[in-house]
Amino acid sequence: MFHPGFSELVIIMVIVFVIFGAGKIPQLGEGLGKGIRNFRSGIKESSKEIQGPAPSEEQGVKSKKGGDG
């Protein structure tokens, strides 16, 4: 696969700087950070839903349902 070295990264950074300018780069970084944060929180929530409740919680729910009616 392609593994960029130091010189390639510098060239990419210069191109980004020329395209977006110095004023927009902090805004781009902030937006990227928010996007990554939202992505991580979404993954955590979905993994919790997939794993489901703990076995002790399931037993508590079943005993409450059985006693009500």
Give the pLDDT confidence of 30-63 residue by residue, as tens digits. Answer: 999 999 999 999 999 988 888 876 666 556 556 5
Query: 52: phi > 0 → left, psi -120 to 50 → alpha, else beta; which?
Result: left
CB 4 within 8 A of CB 12: yes
Report the half-sphere exposure of 8 (CA within 13 A, side-chain side). 4
- Domain regions of the chain by residue span: 23-49
- Which sign does the torsion angle of CA 42, 47, 50, 51 carry? negative
> Global pTM?
0.50
| Confidence band for 24, pLDDT divided at 50, 70 and 90 | confident
